[in-house]
Chain A
């Protein structure tokens, strides 16, 4: 499992636990807003945490659409390389 994927999974889990939600399995196919009890503020928290942790901001050049964990991992890996 790549570092970025591990961080996304851990951080998502942490955000949900803080909300008092039960956390189910999070896979590459898991969609943030549909499959998990997350709202847009939770998703924003995840993105900001990722930036603070990795120093990477794939959205600097503009808003990009993503729905699931795998697509978000790809966004970070594309600028990491």
Chain B
């Protein structure tokens, strides 16, 4: 069963939990489903511990468990009749959607490879798909998991040192931020798993330089397909020869973007690729959704909101590459009333998510366009 056979240990916000600390509380047996919110109120207490308790209760009462990361209004049309886990999608391509997963499909198949338990630092939000995978991975392998949902990257870096973390699963942006926080002292990391955005060669090399003995892998997954493949050779992209093979039931085809094909149909991943002599490299998103420090940001969406402001005639929202967060949102605002437009833009921007907020804003009378007359998105 879920936790019983595991000697898993959770260290969350200074408290330590073991599998035996999570037993069926019975009070939830008459409920139709269990919902746990990831918003501020619950985050004051140990959120991962609350999630594990909810899963234990959900299994015992055979009812669905819903992890509502950002407190979304739920409109459940068809509630599953038995235990499963509901997670909200990131909302990249539309409103966040509640998707139910069977625990068996979420459970990683990796068993512990060495004698010693790994100590994982939870770098993702525990109620995200990737975060839940890290939690379940630690349980499946009877490992130790260190979590603090309220800690920022500097505090997480410190936590990794204090708790002697040995395994990290993070986005390349988060990994770069961690490397910037560790100076003379850093944890003895043996396993680094990167995912969620492009793992470029510079980041892979920086990880290898800092942790020469660590196993380094980067994972390619999409919301629709789940994990497709894992690259373990420390090089960006994946070997060209893989185009002739199948991974997790998917074959890969290249057009402008990577297309995944299986017996039932195909998925256009929207991930642009470039082919070199022996590798296939990812170059960015086909649509205008960019990854800023691990968060997905829709440039056209922000742009439209800026254009709707008073005194703003037009706007171009674009990104500048940088080594810290991968991309940084910038904006060019077209207005004939610069001071009034500035006031409107400055009042509006704090309402955006930190990652989506244009950090460098210039004002002009005409926007910079490409030779094809389009708005340039990447500089």
Q: Which residues of A contact B (CB under 8 A)?
A: 32-34, 39-41, 43-45, 47-49, 51-52, 59, 61-67
B283-299 contact mask (Cβ, 8 Å, vs A): 1 or 0: 00000000011000000
- Known pairs A47-B322, A48-B330, A48-B359; list 18 more (Cβ under 8 Å): A32-B180, A39-B152, A40-B153, A40-B177, A40-B180, A40-B324, A43-B180, A43-B324, A44-B325, A45-B359, A48-B322, A48-B360, A51-B320, A63-B179, A63-B202, A63-B203, A65-B179, A67-B183
Q: Which residues of B contact A (CB under 8 A)?
A: 152-154, 173, 176-177, 179-181, 183, 201-203, 205-206, 292-293, 320, 322-325, 328, 330, 354-355, 359-360
Whether B153 lies near A45 (C-beta < 8 A) is: no
CB-contact partner of A62 in B202, B320, B322, B328, under 8 A: B202
Closest B-chain residue to A40, C-beta based?
B177
Known: A41-B293, A62-B201. A33 touches B323 (CB 8 A): no
A74 to chain B, nearest CB (A): 15
B161 to chain A, nearest CB (A): 13
Whether A33 lies near B320 (C-beta < 8 A) is: no
Find chain A residues with CB under 8 A from B324 CB: 40-41, 43-44, 47
Whether B360 lies near A64 (C-beta < 8 A) is: no
Find chain A residues with CB under 8 A from B293 CB: 40-41, 44
Whether B354 lies near A52 (C-beta < 8 A) is: no
Find chain A residues with CB under 8 A from B173 CB: 40
CB-contact partner of B328 in A33, A34, A44, under 8 A: A44
Whether B153 lies near A63 (C-beta < 8 A) is: no
- Counting chain B CB atoms within 10 Å of each CB, the highest count among A44, A49, A59 belongs to A44
B12 to chain A, nearest CB (A): 22
Closest A-chain residue to B181, C-beta based?
A33
A61 to chain B, nearest CB (A): 8
CB-contact partner of B320 in A34, A43, A48, under 8 A: A48
Known: A63-B176, A63-B206. A44 touches B359 (CB 8 A): yes
